[in-house]
A and B are shown apart, each in its own frame.
Chain A
Amino acid sequence: MSVICKDVKMAFKTAAGSVNVLKGVDFTAPAGMLTMLVGPSGCGKTTLISLIAGLLRGASGSMQVFGHEVSSMSAAMLVPYRLKNIGFIFQQYNLLAGLTASENVAVPLVASGFDWPRALSQGKELLEKLGLGAHTNKLPSQLSGGQQQRVAIARALVHSPKLLLCDEPTAALDGQAGQAVMTLLRELAVAEDRAAIVVTHDPRVYSFADRVVHMEDGLISKVETVPDQKPPVDPHGTSH
């Protein structure tokens, strides 16, 4: 198992009092599988992946990510932990507007200490693999939604993270582009030494998952294993 959460509880203080968002979640996301976390809005999906990513703190319980106990890490330890181990894909892509596609992809590498030329060349290489070779020097505003999400996928995978966290990656895309993005994610993100968690409430993409974890009102309500109709997992991960 790569991500193991046990009895995770999280409450937010609001003007109306304390709201329990997670009420004792037991969740696992094995390496080599694409785990989908699904459920209605407000059920705690985003809170759970924020906690796993170390973006949110203050939860009780245990959260182990590839052997790291995230809940006991300090804020200073979480920064390099995220940079090294986690790749993010966001609903709104969150690409840096002033940077070209290849520069956006290069950011995690530059932050990890690569020099710009080397990071850029790796970024371009990955974009070419994703079929965006003709768009490497374009700004995000010059790309379609689907292309932007593919750039975001490249950015999330360029530094070969162990865990990929995707928050509603198809929510801003039309059906066809959403399917294409999920196909790509399936092909590139799932590797034997990597876990991928996709938060979604788009039932059309459930078929891309190996496991579907249903959440409801701050608790895991059901775990389904999806019959294997998908391409085999690439043992070498992102293939770069």
Chain B
Amino acid sequence: MNLVAFKILLHDKAKYVALVLGVSFATLLISQQSAIFHSLMHASTRDILEANQADIWVMKSSVETLDQGYPIAELSVNRVRSIPGVQWAVPYYQSTAQLRTEDGRMKLVQLVGIDDLSMVGAPQEMLIGTLDDFHQPDAIVMDIAGYTNIFPGVEPTVGAIVEIGQRRAVVAGICYIGASWSGMPRVYTRRSLAVSMARETLNPVTYVLARADSKHSPEEVAKKITKATGLKARTRAEFMGDTRTWILKYSGIAENFGITILMGVVIGVAIVGQTFYMFSVENLKQFATLKAIGISNWVILRMIMTQALFVSTIGYCLGIGAANFFFAMTSTQLSGGLRGMFMDPSIFIGSGIFIVLVTLLACVVSVRKVLTVDPAVVFRG
């Protein structure tokens, strides 16, 4: 009887198209907004993602989020190194600084100082130059999006001279970095140079990046570090979680996106539910005829479920395709608010499950009407 269900569904092409478009629109709205939200959350932990060699981040106890990094004494690095279970520990510096181009334009940049020797925390994808170029005098490595922002219309190349914190800096390399929460251009350099550019006087570090040895878990070592030094030590995953929680709590992003996603849900439920309900109600007499002929409620339920799953699958594919197309078109741009936005596989799966549930919910409401229809209506003209 599934073939009969398909034929009933596809016969009324206008309603079929309306149903599919309703599901597509709901999918697009929900998946696109969820993906942007997810991408922003992902971007908020950009430095932690980049410095993936370290599995423990050590910081001042008052720090709640990545961008709040507060200077601590360089001595902290050695204190962390002395804790049993620590395989290595290196300094990491992070600050904002004023960059000035040769023609006098000013830009606020995110300055990242990586360990001079180990290069832990260096960008993972160099587009021009290599990590060795960090050792050139006054060398900085700029991310491609930042370069395009600072030097609009200029083909990315090394050799440009700028001033950061009244100190000369030379672009020695260009790297690719995913979008960050702040959206500021990112400038990487050796930590020794970074503290100088930020005009720090006490040679501080912002974080100590460490790795647990193979005999200890990062959680265990982080607890030991906190206990022994009084500093806050968090595993990579914990610190990402802290940062995201802080942003959700204080930025208002959760409410904003929550409302939009909720709107998507409500619109999705309304469009899909209403259209499907109308579709079933308008076909009520056909279902009543089937019931009168002797087709059981269970078979009719299966027919309606088949229709719902078919519509939701087609609608979902179109909607998720449109959302993907949107990100394919916008996420590769080098600047602007949608840079680095992407669709995580969890969004594909989540929105798919959600759409199927919404359609089935709409179906349940319609089915009730169909299953309770008195088959004797077939005799009423």
Whether, in the assembled complex, A34 has its beta carbon less than 8 Å from a beta carbon of chain B, the answer is no
User: How far, in whole Å, are A99 and B1 apart by their CA atoms in the complex?
Assistant: 12
Given the known A-B contacts A46-B379, A50-B376, A82-B294, are A111 and B1 also in contact in the complex, defined by CB atoms under 8 Å?
A: yes
**B289 touching A55, Cβ below 8 Å:** no
Chain B residues with CB below 8 A from A49, complex form: 379
Assess whether B285 is interfacial by the CB under 8 Å rule: yes
CA distance A94 to B286 in the complex (A): 7
Q: Are B375 and A55 closer than 8 Å at their CB atoms? A: yes
A107 within 8 A of B: yes
Find out whether the CB atom of A99 lies under 8 angstroms from the CB atom of B7: yes
Asked whether any CB of chain B lies closer than 8 Å to the CB of A73, the reply is no
Given contacts A96-B8, A98-B10, A110-B4, contact A83 B295 (CB under 8 A): yes
Q: Let me know if A80 and B379 touch, CB within 8 A.
A: no
Query: CB distance B292 to A79 under 8 Å?
Result: no
Nearest opposing residue in chain A for B289, CB measure: A94
**When the two chains form their complex, are residues A98 and B11 in contact, meaning their CB atoms are under 8 A apart?**
yes
Residue A81 at the chain B interface, CB threshold 8 Å: yes
Q: How far is the CB of B8 from chain A (nearest CB, A)?
A: 5
Q: Binary interface profile of B, 289-306, with partner A (CB < 8 Å = 1, else 0)?
A: 111111111010000000
Asked whether, in the complex, the Cβ of B295 is within 8 Å of the Cβ of A79, the reply is: yes
Any B CB within 8 A of the CB of A196: no
Which of A84-92, A202-210, A221-229 contacts the other chain?
A84-92
How long is the Cα–Cα vector from A98 to B8 in the complex, in angstroms? 5
Tell me the nearest residue of chain A to B287, going by C-beta: A96
Q: Are A53 and B8 in contact (CB under 8 A)?
A: no
* A15 is an interface residue with CB less than 8 A from chain B: no
Contact of B293 among A76, A111, A139 (CB under 8 A): A111
CB-nearest residue of chain B relative to A53? B292
- Asked if B3 is an interface residue, CB under 8 A from chain A, the answer is yes
Once the chains bind, are B294 and A111 in contact (CB under 8 Å)?
A: yes
* Binary per-residue interface labels of chain A (94-118) against chain B in the complex, 1 for a CB within 8 Å, 0 otherwise: 1011110001000110110000100
Residues of chain B within 8 A of A56, CB atoms compared: 374, 376
Chain B contact residues: over half helix, strand or loop, or mixed?
helix
B289: min CB distance to chain A, Å: 4
Of all chain A residues, the one with the shortest Cβ separation from B296 is A79
Contact A50 B293 (CB under 8 A): no
Which residue of the partner chain, among B3, B293, B297, contacts A82 with CB atoms under 8 Å?
B293
B292 close to A82 (CB less than 8 A): yes
Determine whether the beta carbon of B294 is less than 8 Å from that of A96: no
The docked-state distance in angstroms from the alpha carbon of A88 to that of B291 is 11
Q: Nearest chain B CB to A121's CB is how many angstroms away?
A: 15
Q: Of the candidates B3, B8, B290, B379, which one forms a contact with A55 in the assembled complex, judged by CB atoms under 8 Å apart?
A: B379
Please state if B7 and A107 are interface contacts (CB–CB under 8 Å). Answer: no
Point out the residues of chain B lying under 8 angstroms from A116, CB to CB: 3
The proximity string for B residues 271-294 relative to A, scoring 1 for CB distances below 8 Å and 0 otherwise, is 000000000000001100111111
CB distance from B288 to the nearest CB of A (A): 8
Task: Tell me the nearest residue of chain B to A171, going by C-beta.
Answer: B381
Contact with A along B1-23 (1 / 0, CB 8 A): 10110011111100000000000
Q: Using an 8 Å CB-CB cutoff, how does the interface string of B354-381 with A read, 1 for contact, 0 for none?
A: 0000000000000000000011101111
- Which B residues are CB-close (under 8 A) to A92? 381
Q: Is the CB of A96 within 8 A of B295?
A: no
In contact, B379 and A111 (Cβ under 8 angstroms) = no
Q: Cβ of B375: which chain A residues have Cβ within 8 Å of it?
A: 55
A108 near B4 with CB under 8 A, answer no
CA distance A21 to B297 in the complex (A): 28
A54-96 Cβ-contact flags toward B at 8 Å (1 or 0):
0110000000000000000000100111111010101110101
Q: How far is the CA of A123 from the CA of B296 in the complex (A)?
A: 22
| Chain B nearest CB, measured from A201 CB (Å) | 13
A96 touches B3 (CB 8 A): no
CB contact under 8 A between A94 and B378, given known A99-B4, A99-B7, A110-B1: yes
Mind listing 9 A-B residue pairs with CB under 8 Å? A46-B379, A56-B376, A76-B296, A79-B297, A82-B292, A92-B381, A94-B378, A98-B9, A108-B294
Given contacts A50-B376, A83-B294, A94-B285, 12 further A-B contacts (CB under 8 A): A49-B379, A76-B296, A79-B296, A86-B294, A88-B293, A96-B7, A97-B11, A98-B10, A99-B11, A103-B4, A107-B4, A108-B293
Chain A to chain B: the 5 pairs with minimum beta-carbon distance, closest first: A83-B294, A98-B11, A82-B294, A98-B7, A55-B376
